Structure 1
Amino acid sequence: MMVAYSFQKRFAPQILAGTKRQTIRLPRKRHARPGEKLQLFTGMRTRHCMKIIPDPFCTVVLPISIRLSARSIVEVEIGTWSSGRWTQVADLDKFARQDGFSDIADMSGFWARAHGDVEYFNGALICWYPDESAEATA
Structure 2
Amino acid sequence: MVAYSFKKRFGPPILAGTKEQTIRAERAGKSRHARPGELVQLYTGMRTRQCTKLGEARCLAVWPIKMDLIVGIVFANDGWIRTAPDLDAFAQRDGFADWWELVAFWVAEHPGVEIFEGVLIRWQPLVPASELDIAGVAA
1:26 aligns with 2:21: no
Q: How does 1:36-55 map to 2 (within 5 A)?
A: 36-53=38-55, 55=56
CA distance in 1, matches of 2:90, 2:62: 16
4+ aligned runs moved over 3 Å, structure 1: 134-138
Partner of 1:66: 67
Partner of 1:83: none
Count of residues in correspondence between the two structures = 127
Amino acid at match of 2:8: K
CA distance in 2, matches of 1:63, 1:116: 22
Q: Which runs of 5+ in 2 are unaligned?
A: none
Q: How does 1:112-131 map to 2 (within 5 A)?
A: 112-130=107-125
* TM-score, length basis structure 2: 0.84
CA distance in 2, matches of 1:68, 1:131: 29
CA distance in 2, matches of 1:10, 1:50: 12
Deviations 1:46-87 (A, max 9, x none): 11100012x110010000000022xxx6111104xxxxxx31
Q: Which runs of 5+ in 1 are unaligned?
A: 80-85
Partner of 1:82: none
CA distance in 2, matches of 1:59, 1:124: 13
1:87 aligns with 2:82: no
Deviations 1:7-26 (A, max 9, x none): 01111111101111100000
Aligned-pair identity in percent equals 53
Partner of 1:101: 96
Instruction: Tell me the C-alpha RMSD between the 2 structures.
Output: 2.0
Cα distance change, pair 131–118 in 1 and its aligned pair in 2 (3 A): closer
Aligned-partner SS, 1:46: coil
CA distance in 1, matches of 2:9, 2:26: 23
